Amino acid sequence: MSSALAFVFPGQGSQLVGMGRSAYESSPAARAVFDEADRVLGYPLTKICFEGPAEKLNDTTVAQPAILTTSVALFEAMVESVNQKIGRRVTDGSEPRGVLALPEQMRPSFVAGHSLGEFSALVVAGVLPFSDALRLVAIRGHLAATRGAQGSMAAIVGMSAADVEATIRRTVSEEGRVVVANDNGPNQVTIAGDEEGIRRVTEALAAGGARKVVPLRISAPFHFPAMGRIGDDLRSFMQTLRFREPVVPIVANISGLPHPNVSAIPDALVRHLSQRVEWLKSVRFMVERGASTFVEFGGGPVVNGLVKRIADVGLVNVTDNASVAKAIASLRAKAAAVRAR
C-alpha cells in the first residue's frame, strides 16, 4: 500500500547561517552526523553552518557538504525521535538503511532532491552511506570551483521555461552561453550562464514581463553545459564508491522519472552537472502516482515553496528540533488515514 508520502531535499542556495543547530543541540543522531562531517572533511563544517560567516557558507566548496549534512542530520533526528517513541531499536550498522529505519507506514513512496538535494536523496534511499556522499559532494564542489565553468545563476519568477528560453535566444546569439538550468514550476525557472550573458538576459527578462529576478547565492553555475568539463573527473571518483540499489524510488533531476537501477545513477550524476533540473516534471510524476504529502528536510521550506506552486498537496517541513515533532505528528495522522482507507 502506498504511503502517499514523498521526501524531498533542497539544493544549493538554500544554505543559511544557523541551519541544523537546533537539531544538533537536541538530537544525538543529528549531532553524530555533523560530527562525522567534521571528521570526514577535516575542517569545522559544523561551526561554519552554525556561526558563518555567510560568505564562507555560500562558497560552493562549503555550501554543498553543508546542505547535504544538514538535510541528513534532520532526517536522522526524525528517525531517532520516531523510534524512541515506539520503542523500536535501530542498529548502528549499515542496516537498516535510510528510510528502512522508519516504521513501514511512515516510509515514503518516493524521494527526490532539488539539484544538489539529489545527493541527500541518495543517502536516504540507501544508495550511498553518508560519509561517501559527503566525500562525493565535497569533490564535486572542489572540481566546480577549481576547474568548472565560471558564471552565475538567477531565479526568474513569473515566466515559464519556454518564455525564458525565447528571451535567451533573442538576447544572446551563442548557443549554451545562457540556459534554463532548473524548470522549477509553471512560472518559475533558474537560469545559468557567464556573468555578462546573465546580466544581459536578466535585464531583458525584467523588461519583458518577469515578476521577479533574483541572483542566487552560488559561486558557480550548475546544470550548465560548460560545467560538463568536470564530468570525467567526477566519474573517476565515483568509481571508488559502492553504489547500492535504492530501497525507495529516487526521482532523477535529469528526467523527472525514477532512476531505472543503481547502475544508471553514476552516469546520471555526471549528466546532472550540465543538464537541466526537471523539477516540474518530477513533482508531477510523484503526484500522479499518489504522493499527496511532501516532507522537506533542510534549513528552510525552499523546495516545498516550489511544490506548492505545482500541486495541491500537503506540505511538511523539517527544519529544526521543534518541527521534527510536528512532522512526526503529521506523518502519523497521514499513516492512520491511509490505513483507514
Q: Which residues are catalytic?
A: 115, 223
CA-to-CA separations, 32 to 7, 59, 131, 298, 324, in angstroms, rounded: 21, 24, 12, 17, 17
Phi–psi pair at 216, nearest 5 degrees:
-90, 150
SS3 content of the chain, % helix, strand, coil (to 5): 50, 15, 35
Cβ atoms within 10 A of the Cβ of 326, count?
Answer: 12
What is the C-alpha separation between 185 and 189, in angstroms, rounded?
A: 7
Asked whether 107 and 5 are in contact (CB, 8 A), the reply is: yes
Q: Does 301 sit behind a cis peptide bond, omega within 30 degrees of 0 on the bond before it?
A: no
Calculate the CA dihedral of residues 10, 206, 312, 298 and round it to 10 degrees.
10
Task: Detail the DSSP E strand segments found in the chain.
Answer: 5-9, 110-113, 152-157, 178-185, 188-193, 212-215, 293-297, 314-318
Q: What count of other Cβ atoms lies within 10 Å of the Cβ of residue 35?
A: 15
Q: Answer whether 291's CB lies under 8 Å from 110's CB.
A: yes
Q: Which residues pair with 156 in a beta bridge?
A: 189, 213
- Packing angle of the helix pair 60-86, 28-41 (nearest 10 deg): 150
